[in-house]
C-alpha cells in the first residue's frame, strides 16, 4: 500500500476497566458508537466518533494480552473536550453520578473549563469560550 493510499485516520485507544461502561460515559459527551467487538454481548473494544474525531476504549487486559505490557495506575490520560455550555454539562454529569474534579472556572486563556472523571478516574476537561 502506497502512503497516499493509507487512511488518514489516527485516534487514541484508552485502556479501561469496562469498555461498555466507558463507552456509555463518552456517549453522554456526544460521542457515537460506530464499532464494537464482539458485535453482540459485553464488548472488549468500542470505537466512538464525535464529528471528525475518534476515540477507542478497550479492556485493560489488552496491552498485557497483546503486547506483554503492564498498565500503570490512573490517571492514564486526560481528554480535553469542547462543549456548548460547560456549567450545564457538568451539572448533567454530576446528576448522573459522575465525579466532578474541578468546578467550571474562567481561565486566563479565555475559556471556561471544568473537570470530571471518566469511569476509570481519568480527568476529562470540558471547555467552551468564556
- Residue (of 20, 18, 30, 118) closest to 77 by Cα position: 118
Supply the pTM of this predicted model. 0.87
CA distance 56 to 58: 7
Determine the 3-state secondary structure of 93 from DSSP: helix
Residue 56 pLDDT greater than 70, yes or no: yes
**8 A C-beta contact, residue 128 and residue 105:** no
Beta strands in 1-122, from DSSP E residues, in sequence order: 13-16, 32-37, 45-50, 53-59, 79-82, 100-106, 111-117
Reported as a single tens digit per residue, the pLDDT across 81-112 is 999 999 999 999 999 999 999 999 999 999 99
pLDDT band, residue 10 (cuts 50/70/90): confident
Reported as a single tens digit per residue, the pLDDT across 35-47 is 999 999 999 999 9
In this structure, what C-alpha cell is assigned to residue 52?
Answer: 471528525
Amino acid at each position: 500500500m502506497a502512503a497516499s493510499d493509507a487512511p488518514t485516520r489516527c485516534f487514541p485507544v484508552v485502556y479501561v476497566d469496562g469498555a461498555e461502561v466507558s463507552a456509555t460515559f463518552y456517549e453522554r459527551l456526544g460521542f457515537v458508537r460506530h464499532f464494537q467487538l464482539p458485535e453482540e454481548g459485553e464488548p472488549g473494544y468500542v470505537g466512538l466518533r464525535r464529528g471528525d474525531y475518534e476515540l477507542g476504549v478497550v479492556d485493560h487486559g489488552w496491552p498485557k494480552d497483546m503486547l506483554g505490557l503492564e498498565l500503570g495506575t490512573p490517571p492514564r490520560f486526560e481528554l480535553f473536550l469542547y462543549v456548548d455550555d460547560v456549567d450545564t454539562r457538568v451539572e448533567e454529569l454530576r446528576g448522573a453520578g459522575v465525579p466532578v474534579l474541578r468546578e467550571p472556572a474562567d481561565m486566563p486563556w479565555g475559556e471556561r473549563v471544568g473537570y470530571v472523571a471518566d469511569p476509570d478516574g481519568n480527568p476529562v476537561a470540558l471547555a467552551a469560550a468564556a
